[in-house]
Structure 1
Amino acid sequence: MSTSQYDVVVVGGGPSGATAADDLARQGWSVLLMDRQGRTKPCGGAIPPRLIKDFDIPDHLLVAKVRCARMISPKDNRVDIHIENGFVAMVNRDSFDEWLRERAQSHGATRLRALCDKITRDADGVARVHFNPVTAQGLGEPDSVRARMVVAADGARSEIARQHIEGADRTKYVFAYHEIVRAPLQDPTHDPERCDVYYQGPISPDFYGWVFPHGDTMSVGTGSADKGFSLRGSVGKLREIAGLSEVETLRREGAPIPLKPLPRWENGRDIVLTGDAAGVVAPASGEGIYYAMACGRMVAEAVQQALKTGDAACLKLARKQFLKEHGRVFWILGLLQYFWYQNDKRRERFVKVCEDPDVQRLTFESYMNKKLVRKKPMAHIRIFFKDLAHLLGFARV
């Protein structure tokens, strides 16, 4: 049995796990970053300016800079929301995630390509992480390492959470599917700086569909919590509507996406969840990269405090801090999804609401900076009454 021991073993090398590993390695802790690699999560790939600034993301990773979002209603009403004085960046998850893992390694984290099997305990109570190395020939012989702390960044429906965290099954999921296609760069109707968002029942009965530019490729996808809904058939319809049926398909990807933070992120001892494993994907929008990385940073801070003090209660600080900063936004977005995504009549009214300049301005200011805008109370009041009028059917569509 191996005697190798690390201060922290991070299981999962996506944006959240890689960020936690990087932050902890920079602080001088011995960190093992374990990731199976070779699988790219379905993701629109949008990141706001706040993420670029907070996490020092270099420009070469930004494959597109979006300056307009087009909202498309069930009746094909189209509302273009222009982003003033800025942009939303697009990244390719395969290269973006790998860059984050390489950065963690450059700051002292040890990388291991492996598939985590389980976590047990040695006679002295220290956690032992069991894994199978991933090789060119497949899975290698079982091995293990000891860990003072384990950060579980192993994605939605985390196996570590299922085995070790109380209440891990108490969250909601949207099943996402997208196809990466060759961008029709020679098509005069193609706009490399515009995202298209489809609020149409045939595309998704309870979420939305998207067509996002990624430079020489595009992400075309949708999501739904309805297990009987054909995501692949929906994306086929979406490609037809968007004029992308004949372009080359490069790859297809699908995965569950959580839309509600788990009620508990730690085991009270030495295991803590982060990213999708913790359920930190925004309702309504499905945005996850920024929240995953912010969560990874908060988890790293909590783990460091636990290691310094020997007090496992410090692990609770990550969830507490995250909900303090982002809980209200998640609550509002959850209400938005519940009210507006129920049927095409409401979706039609929702897109109509998006025509309002106050809605556009405040929505993008909040999105870009990841803070609710409080400086324009009259605009909020106007939005409230307009929103209420649309919800009750008093406003004309």
Structure 2
Amino acid sequence: MVSPTDKRVDIPIENGFVGMVDRDAFDEWLRARAAGSGAQRQIGSFERLTRDDDGVSVVHYQARERPGDAASAPRSVRARCVIGADGARSAVARQAIAGAERNPCVFAYHEIVRAPLAKPVGYDGSRCDVYYRGSLSPDFYGWVFPHGDTLSIGTGSADKGFSLRAAVGRLRSDSGLQGAQTLRREGAPIPMKPLRRWDNGRDVLLAGDAAGVVAPASGECIYYAMASGRLAAEAVESALQTGDGRCLRQARRRFMKAHGTVFRVLGVMQWFWYSSDRRRERFVTICEDRDVQQLTFESYMNKELVRKKPMAHVRIFFKDMGHLLGLVRA
């Protein structure tokens, strides 16, 4: 963790790890696994939902031979249930779920670069560097994340007037990676909170970014996308077996029961600690504390708030109050 004044705090992850997912390999693995279980794969771009005369949903899409190809033909498929897992600002959600279009998003931008042969001073290919600086993001953080032979260097913000590309350029310079070969540049919207409703009460259900399940403060989404996908599948199975579309509600209900408190705590933490460089400086200082580190990463690894070790929570409370009241020097 790197503060606005370049204070650096190393947080060792004991008995665990942070996994970096290669989406090219992971997504194809998921598709192949689905096909191995009987799914019929089709490549195309979703267009709209309609209903046949008997009330069954019809998914219309533009078919393609391969990803990236021009559309070859309009096609459609009947579906007793539709799971919209088409990312932030989901087209399925906008058509089927009332109010989905109003869910706020931030925008994230990163550059994938080749890891340099001559490593910059302080470079560690096994460490994730997280920069808390207003010059890199007024409301989030900047990052340098290793992916083996490549690196992701990026930032994000809900401030539409903030230049993410310029901030990434500054971050590359600050981390000594300005000369690294750029392989590609990518940007995407990220939902700021789970949607209030994931289903239409009948036959459409959302999962992943389409449902808004991205953790505040960290921006983590892969784990929560997979968890919501499993819950969506189980809810759809119940709906198909019973013929009752109200069963689809259980996906969001079960997800929020398991993760809602974590999302609320992280949301408050981001709102408060990321709001100014003064607070960012204190936030990084707080994270020097071993109690904070241990409880934070136990919660991160287990995806739930750690309730054991009550005295550690008491100590953290008083340390946080000291920082908030200015009784502790950052």
TM-score tier by shorter-chain length is: over 0.9
* Residue number in structure 1 paired with 2:244: 311
Alignment of 1:276-287 (within 5 A): 276-287=209-220
Tell me how far apart the structure 2 counterparts of residues 170 and 321 of structure 1 sit (CA, whole Å): 23
- Give the superposition deviation at 1:116: 0.6
CA distance in 2, matches of 1:280, 1:126: 28
Structure 1: segments with no counterpart, 5+ residues: 1-70
Q: 1:377 aligns with which of 310, 314, 321?
A: 310
- Which region of structure 1 is more displaced relative to structure 2, 385-394 or 74-83? 385-394
User: Bigger shift: 100-109 or 326-335?
Assistant: 100-109
Residue in structure 2 matched with residue 241 of structure 1 by the alignment: 174
Q: Which moved more, 1:127-136 or 1:273-282?
A: 127-136
Secondary structure of the 1:78 match is coil
Q: Deviations over 1:198-245 (max 9, x none)?
A: 000010000000000000000000000001111111100000001100
Count of residues in Structure 1 that have an aligned counterpart in Structure 2: 327
Shift of 1:277: 0.5
Corresponding residue of 2:7: 77
Residues 268-311 of structure 1, C-alpha deviation per residue, up to 9 Å, x if partnerless? Answer: 11000110000000001000000000000001110000000001
Over the aligned positions, Cα root-mean-square deviation in angstroms equals 1.1
- Tell me what 1:159 maps to: 91
The answer to which structure has the higher strand fraction is: 1
Asked if the contact 2:143/2:153 (under 8 Å) is kept, the reply is yes
| Offset at residue 390 of structure 1 (A) | 1.4
Specify which of 259, 266, 271 is matched with residue 326 of structure 1: 259
Q: Deviations over 1:88-130 (max 9, x none)?
A: 1212111111111111111211111110100000000000000
Structure 1 residue 185 displacement after superposition:
4.0
User: 1:177–1:222: 8 Å Cα contact kept in structure 2?
Assistant: yes
| In 2: Cα distance, 1:146 partner to 1:263 partner | 27
Q: Which residue of 2 aligns with 1:259?
A: 192
Which amino acid counterpart does residue 81 of structure 2 have in structure 1?
M
Consecutive unaligned residues of structure 2, counting only runs of 5 or more, are none
Q: 3-state SS of the aligned residue for 1:252? A: strand
Alignment pair present for 1:171 and 2:123: no
Aligned with 2:42: secondary structure? strand
Which of residues 71, 74, 82 is equivalent to 1:142?
74
> Normalising by the residue count of structure 1, what TM-score does the alignment of the two structures yield?
0.81
Q: Which residue of 2 aligns with 1:296?
A: 229
**How many angstroms apart in 2 are the aligned matches of 1:170 and 1:263?**
11
Alignment partners' CA distance in 2, 1:133 and 1:255? 24
Superposed counterparts of 1:71-150, under 5 Å: 71-135=1-65, 137-150=69-82
Q: How many angstroms apart in 2 are the aligned matches of 1:256 and 1:374?
A: 33
Corresponding residue of 1:364? 297
CA contact (8 A) 2:3 2:133 kept: yes
1:5-48 deviations in Å (ceiling 9; x for gaps): xxxxxxxxxxxxxxxxxxxxxxxxxxxxxxxxxxxxxxxxxxxx
Offset of 1:154 from its aligned partner?
0.8
Q: Which structure carries more relative contact order (alpha carbon 8 Å, separation 6+)?
A: 1
1:179 alignment partner AA: E
- Secondary structure of 2:128's counterpart equals strand
Are 2:120 and 1:184 aligned? no
How far did residue 191 of structure 1 move?
1.2
Shift of 1:346: 0.5
Deviates more, 1:105-114 or 1:118-127: 105-114
Q: Percent identity?
A: 67
- Is the 8 Å Cα contact of residues 64 and 73 (structure 2) preserved in structure 1? no
